[in-house]
Amino acid sequence: MNKILDRQILKEKLDLLRREGKKIAFTNGCFDILHVGHVRYLRAAKKTADVLVLALNSDSSVQSIKGVKRPLVPEEERAEILAALDIIDFVTIFPELTPLELINYLKPDIIIKGGDWPEDKVVGRDEVKKWGGRVIIIPEVEGKSTTNIVEKIKKVYCPGEYSN
């Protein structure tokens, strides 16, 4: 089964699952280099609902958010890696800077974000609450981030350039 879907086909599938009584959780992010922090976060996110949708920032939106040197891994590869995880039911790529348009279109029951996001800053928070949904914040895994991995690689392969 292909788990990487465009938003129209994804909406059709989610509407069918919702009619079957399934709860839909939605999370989003860049997921540039998959690491243990991501896996623990996604595992916890999956426990909140029957279906976990991961909205993946496109390459252009990652560049707008993180700078022109990112992403390190192209969107098609990031999507394939994430879709390979059993804990993720569907992956969709979005080009916008925020997932608000996608959230309004898919109407998930739950929005999940990591602990680095205060609830009042979660995109789609007000909208999901209007249709009876909720926001769940999952504590972040300290010290586990793509940025930390990149910095460690720089120190190993370019020690003179990046010494403290």
Domain 7-157: give its CATH architecture: 3-Layer(aba) Sandwich (3.40)
Q: How far is CA 83 from CA 86, 91, 115, 152, 159, in A?
A: 8, 6, 23, 27, 35
Average pLDDT, the chain: 92
pLDDT tens digits in sequence order for the chain, 164 residues long: 699 999 999 999 999 999 999 999 999 999 988 888 899 999 999 999 999 999 999 999 999 998 898 899 999 999 999 999 999 999 999 999 999 999 999 999 999 999 888 899 999 999 999 999 999 999 877 766 666 777 777 777 887 765 54
- What digits encode the pLDDT tens for the residues 111-148? 999 988 889 999 999 999 999 999 999 987 776 666 67
Quote the pLDDT of residue 123. Answer: 96
Quote the pLDDT of residue 159. Answer: 78
Quote the pLDDT of residue 27. Answer: 98
Look up the pTM and report it. Answer: 0.89
Domain chopping of the chain, boundaries: 7-157
Quote the pLDDT of residue 161. Answer: 67
